Chain A
Amino acid sequence: MSNIFAKRRARLLAMKAIRDNYVPGDQLEACPKCGGESLRKDVAGNLYVCPLCGYHFPIGAYYRLSTILDPGSFRELNEKHPAADPLSFPGYREKQRAAQRKTGLTEAAVTATGTVGGRKCVVGVLDSRYLMGSMSAAVGEKITLAIEYAAKNKLPLILFSASGGARMQEGILSLMQMAKTSAALARFSEKGLLYISVLTDPTTGGVTASFASLGDAVLAEPGALIGFAGPRVIQQTIGETLPEGFQRAEYQEEHGFVDAVVPRGELRETLSRLLRLHEKGGRS
């Protein structure tokens, strides 16, 4: 019985993952970094990493999950949690609906349970295609519910961040999600549980200044922009050009804010290894 459901779940995630990135494989995809063109199917076969220069393309939340979770282990949490418009902000509902149509998501965060290398965990992913993965009340709530679920069930937690920062249209509610998620992580941490934060391009603003920076281990994808203030704002403030590579994953590693920069192709194995290293009683 459970085998049938596992197969269904595997198929469901595969379908959602395909929808995330569907473009016919015989079309050419130009890399925004090196400008080189590759066949879409070659880029897809390489986990959406440019085969020529190693640039990591942004990927959808379900596709991300399909690259990390063991097949058939995916079970979505709070899938139906609705988007909100707490300030009744003019034009915001239309923006949300457009983002929903474009991505097939209800909001910018997807959370799930599943296994990585056979070890059960809770995984949350922000999707930068939905209003820049910005922090809304719904994003904060889904992340908090995922943290609380992991704490209650004593499971390790992995969060993939990708965010332009605050959701302007939700004003102060967006700001308060920073306090809410960070407080939930404090409680989670006190239970002696593992939280791995994975920073992907871009991780900025309120997400950097809350849950993304609070991992027991912090990993980052190569080249990801990671910071509190955006480069444009900083440039305007200080009035000089920023150094090459400023706020990139490698810069953050050098400055002591990232444990390891891990290419997408090695992430699953690295996560699996970290989970194994945190198993109680030395089980392998």
Chain B
Amino acid sequence: MSKLTAAERVAVARHPQRPNITDYIGALFTDFFEQKGDRLCREDPAILGGIALYHGRPVTVIGTRKGKTAEESIRCNFGMPGPEGYRKALRLMKQAEKFRRPVFTLIDTSGAYPGLEAEARGQGEAIARNLMEMSRLTVPVIAVITGEGNSGGALALAVADRVLMLENAVYAILSPEGFASILWRDASRHEEACDLMKLTAPDLLAMGMVDDVVPEPEGGAHLAPEAVFRELDRALSRHLAALLKESGPSLLGKRYQKFRKMGAAPKEEA
């Protein structure tokens, strides 16, 4: 693995040419049928989801969408979903369960959108509902942090049997800028925050917060996307094959224990 600093990885994770969800769906899946709308209020383009074939098997794919052009970025709100996006994601996951399809989620978001309408329609409730419902989906769920995975906005798609990270992806409670601004009231100290936050894939793997790290080419995924697609495909196939051997109740029991253990045993007394 490369020896980038945490701050350098944040920059790579945010690179404008980094593969996005459309690239991954195009490269890893066939016959993608997009499903729009939360059936309650509206369609949120910040989340893309639908049915596709993965090596011939029907699966549900859901993820946050960042654009590559200015126009695209504006249309999908820079990958920051509102409650409608999370409710659409939940609708698709419940449908996947009905038709016994495994669920893949691809996560690259700076967080849930902090806006007036998002609050009026229950951003917090939508995220909470997803966390609760994902914990009891009886089909295999694999989440991949492909770029930035920030805050409850990322976790709302990541209560999974396996959580994978690309090597230069970052996963954190919030952006380093937000972290520095809250803790020190100084967003310019974000590089210092990067080091303290333990947000890199190797750190999180060592802490047991994620299950596997998918290698990236030297310098980042945008320099050789095909290599990343190949590595990710390999990892997804391996984890899916293992999960498909498990019964529904066994999946649920292990998924519960996986998150139950996090922060359960403090290292020392205060």
B binding-site residues for A, Cβ under 8 Å = 112-116, 118-125, 127-129, 131-133, 135-136, 151-152, 155-156, 158-159, 171-174, 179, 182-183, 196-199, 204, 207, 209, 255-256, 259-260, 262-264, 266-270
Contacts and interface: CB of A to CB of B under 8 A. Distances in A.
B132 A182 contact: yes
A228 B114 contact: yes
A228 B123 contact: yes
A189 B234 CA distance: 38
B128 A84 contact: no
A213 B270 contact: no
A169 B112 CA distance: 21
29 contacts: A87-B198, A137-B264, A137-B266, A166-B151, A168-B173, A168-B179, A171-B172, A171-B173, A171-B196, A175-B155, A175-B172, A176-B262, A178-B127, A178-B131, A179-B158, A183-B131, A183-B255, A183-B260, A209-B152, A213-B128, A227-B119, A228-B112, A228-B119, A229-B114, A234-B115, A237-B114, A238-B116, A257-B122, A257-B125
Contacts of A5: none
Given A106-B270, A183-B132, A172 B123 contact: no
A83 interface: yes
A66 interface: no
Interface in A59-107: 82-87, 89-90, 93, 96-97, 100, 106
A141 B263 contact: yes
A184 B255 CA distance: 11
A208 B153 CA distance: 13
A137 B263 CA distance: 5
A83 B266 CA distance: 7
Contacts of B197: 87, 171-172
Contacts of B255: 183
Contacts of A83: 266, 270
Contacts of A189: 132
Contact of A180 (B118, B151, B262, B266): B262
A82 B263 CA distance: 11
Interface size range on A against B: 35 or more
Interface centre among A138, A172, A210 (most CB of B within 10 A): A172
Contacts of B136: 183, 186-187, 190
Contact of A227 (B124, B135, B183, B264): B124
A106 B266 CA distance: 13
Nearest to A187: B256
Contacts of A141: 263-264
A214 B122 contact: no
Interface centre among A82, A169, A179, A190 (most CB of B within 10 A): A179
A175 B151 contact: yes
Contacts of B115: 229, 234, 237-238
A228 B174 CA distance: 13
Contacts of A138: 263, 266
A180 to B, nearest CB: 5
A63 B268 CA distance: 29
A179 to B, nearest CB: 5
A166 B173 contact: yes
A185 B133 CA distance: 10
A177 B264 CA distance: 10
A212 interface: yes
A229 B155 CA distance: 15
Contacts of A185: 132
